Each structure stands twice: as structure tokens, then as C-alpha cells.
Amino acid sequence: MSFAKLDELGHRLEALEHALSILGADEATHMAVGGGDKRAEAMSQLAGMYHAQATAPEIADWIEAAKAEALDTDQTLALGEFERNYVNATCLPTEFVQRRTAATMRSEQLWRDLRAKGDWDSFLPALEGVVALVREEAALRADATGLAPYDALMDQYDPGNRTAEIDGVFADLKGFLKDFLPTALAVQEQRLAQRPRKNLNAPYPIEKQRELGLAAMRATGFDFTHGSLAVSHHPFCGGVPTDVRMTTRYRTDEFLTSLMGVLHETGHALYEQGLPKDWSHWPLGEARGMGMHESQSLFVEMQIARSADFWEFMLPLVHQHLGETAIPGWDIPDILSEVNFVERGYIRVDADEITYPLHIILRYELEQDLIAGKLEASQIPEAWDAKMTEYLGISTINDPKDGPMQDVHWPGGAFGYFPSYTLGAMIAAQLGSAMAKDIPDMGAQMRQGDFTAINQWRADKVWSQASRYSTPDLITRATGEPLNADHFKAHLKRRYGS
């Protein structure tokens, strides 16, 4: 049977993915400084083996033959994912992949050097080359998939998402956020006038912060028999579902950044650990795209870990692991003022819940114009500044470092990725709204540090479904309705509007 051949292929590819993932995680955490060259050689060889097996010409024949076989529901869905992956893996000619890889590597190298200097003019030629290649890639993917060019790029990260739906959702959200931001800032100012922000009582030893993070991971459901926590320059969640490699970084002058980062990555890890093990060697068994993955991390970080209910449970743990003098005189309102502080800022990764989506929508709109040829790379600084001024009331016209040069995505050619971040926040709020109806005492359970029912709900609705459905269909099945910005808006009003 041809499906049996695809099933066998899935096992081989899973083994290679496993090796690559663990080697990559180890490189970022434990590899000796002198091991880089040989590690790169090993991973390059494995990646080449993976690509050769994943794009073998006979796979197309297996897929077509399997369509005529008597398959059960899961196998039929798996076949669709095998085909989608194969089309995406083979639609780019080898010579194009080589040109794109060389261009993006050079662009990223220049970006690392020139961003700190804010040298846009020297960076521009490399970015123009990347934009030209991404337009070419979008056309190739569009031809192979039948999608519009930008949709074809987005579909790599969130299968099923289309600008026809997202444009309207983002336009609605943008209008709300632009109006709501001044209100939230005014409410915050009044609150802080009555109860000013307090200073953290640093230093916080790293080992004690680590123990606090481990306690938070354990409480929220992380399975330490199938995962671990390490330190890296940039926090990430990697590895494989049976061996999740989570990382964080520490500062001794404050502990909240690391703790919130640990909780964010724990959300990613819980999703991976909750995927169906019987399908682990099929594309069907993988997480359903970046938007859904971000929804799981942001559910833990935003919906849970920045709430008063959570901190009623968490504050005693802070005292237990960091000491009673860690935050002397602090109560839950003081913690919430710190973790939910709102401000107009230039940097996306430092933004709060209200301003972050505006940073994303700005990039989403510029990306579409770049791919469509309505905007050239040389025009980005002015277009970026116009939107920053309109959306956030701040200008970046003379500051490319903290403007269009701040992200690695465009230098690396990752166009179509940005929408996933805000889609994830919106999905998280919508999941939270649906969950609250099914678990009316959800807050009381969090106050007791009991996340069993919360995790079981997400396991049933999201984790166990893996890639059975497109992102929009999965949202509808989990919450009873398509993606709806009203849930995210209501969440922001409750947290920041009073």
C-alpha cells in the first residue's frame, strides 16, 4: 500500500527531525565553544538527508496512489498533510533555494553588524535583494498552491489563514486599540498616583530564580519526565515532544522577566507534550502552526500568569524561593502594576498587551505592500514612521535601529510570520472566554494552584487535535465560533480599562 510507504517515510523523517532538534537545542545551551564547526557540519549533513528524503520524486506517486486506497479518517487527514508538506517542500527549485539561502545569510550577517549602528543605507542593498527573492518565492508558492502570493507565504506558518479574513479582523482591532490606548494610559496614571510602583529588592541569585521557575513550571503542568529547563542567550522552546528543551535567561537585578519568560515557554512546551503520540511520525501529529502555538504560550503568560487569581497562588512561591525580603511590602496590586505596565514604546519584543498588536499590524500591512510591489524597500523608513506615528504616537524617522531594523525576520526572509503573534494573542483570549463558560470556577482553581481542569480543556480542544484541521477550523471547533476580536478587546477592557 502506498500509504504504508508514506507511514514508513514519516518514521524516517521523524528520526532525522529528532536528531536535528536535539542537536540544535544542545548547540544553544551546552555545546563547547570549540564544537561549532563540526556541529554545523553534522547538522548540515542531517538536513541534507532530510531534504533528500522529504522531496524524493516517488513521494508524489505514493500520494496519488494512496488517494485510491481505503483509508480511515485519520489516515485521510494525514494524507492531506503529507501532500501539503510535499508541495511546500518541492515548489522551490534547488537553484532558487541556494540563491535565497546565500542572500538571507548575508543579509542577517549585515543586519547583526549594522543594526547597532542604525546604518540603514548600508543595509538597504542586502534587504532589497531579500525582498526581490521573497517576491519570487511568493510567486512560486502561489503557482504551486493556487493561493494569492502573500497568502502562500502566510500558509507556511498558519495553514488556512487568509488575508481576506485577517484584514477585517486586524482593521477592527487596530481601530479599537488606537482609541483604547489613551484610556488605558489614563487609568494607569490614576492608579499609580494612588499606589506608586515599588522598587524591586535586588539582587536575586540565579539559582533561586531557577528554583522559582521550576516550581512555576511544575505547578502549571510541565512534565519533567519529558522535558527540561536550561539557559540560553535567547529563550526558546525546542527539542521534541518526548524531550522538550526549554530555556530562559536571568538578570540578577530583577526576577519578573525571567519568570514570565519561563511561563511563556511553558505554554509552548505543554502544547508539544500534549500532542498525540500515535501520530508523532505524521505531519498530522504536529502542532497546528505558529498562531496556534503562540496562543498556547500566550494563554499561560497573558490569560493566566498576569492575572490576580494566578498571583494569589504565585506570591507565596516567590517568598518561598526568593525569600520574604525579595519584594518587601509588595502585594498583588503591586505585582500586577509591574507585569501589566503599559507604555508607548519603539520595540516590539518589549511591548505590552495593548501596544504589541499595533506593532504587528504595522508590519503585516507593510509586508503585504512589499510583496505586492506597492512599496519598495527604500521606502520602508518613511512608511514605518507614518504608521508608528499614527498608531502609537511616536516617531522613528531618524532611528532605524529601533524602527525597521529591530527585527531579524525581514533580513532572514521570514515574510508572513508576523501575523501569527497577534493572532495567537487573540486566539488565547477567545480560548479563555470559551473555557470560562465550561469551567466557571477557573479563577478559584488558579488561586489554589490547580491547573488540571484548565490543561485538560486545552488538551481536549487543541493539543490532541494537532494538525487535523486548518487554523481557522481549529479555532471554530475549540470555541464555537470563528476568530472574533471581541474576546481580545473584552479581555483588555477588563484588565486595563478600570
Q: What amino acid positions are annotated as catalytic residues?
A: 265
Q: What are phi and psi of 435, to 5 degrees?
A: -65, -40
Burial 207-227 (b: 16+ CB within 10 A, else e): ebbbebbbbbbebbbbeeeeb
Burial class (CB in 10 A: 0-12, 13-18, 19+), 14: middle
Q: Are strands 237-240 and 243-248 parallel, antiparallel or unpaired?
A: antiparallel
Task: Return all residues near 252 (Cβ < 8 A) that are at least 6 apart.
Answer: 202, 203, 204, 205, 206
Q: What is the DSSP string of 178-210?
A: HHHHHHHHHHHHHHHHHS----------HHHHH
- Compute the distance between CA of residue 264 and CA of residue 220 in angstroms, rounded to an integer: 11
Question: 236: helix, coil or strand?
Answer: coil
- Compute the distance between CA of residue 208 and CA of residue 322 in angstroms, rounded to an integer: 6
Q: Do the Cβ atoms of 64 and 7 come closer than 8 Å?
A: no
Helix or strand run (H / E) with residue 112: helix 94-114
Looking from the CA of 209 toward its CB, the CA atoms found within 13 Å total 23
Q: Name the residue with cell 514612521.
A: 385
Question: 133: helix, coil or strand?
Answer: helix
Q: Do the Cβ atoms of 267 and 298 come closer than 8 Å?
A: yes
Q: Which cell numbers in the block locate residue 316?
A: 507565596
Q: Quick one: how far is CA 315 from the chain centroid?
A: 27
Q: How far apart are the first and last CA of the chain?
A: 62
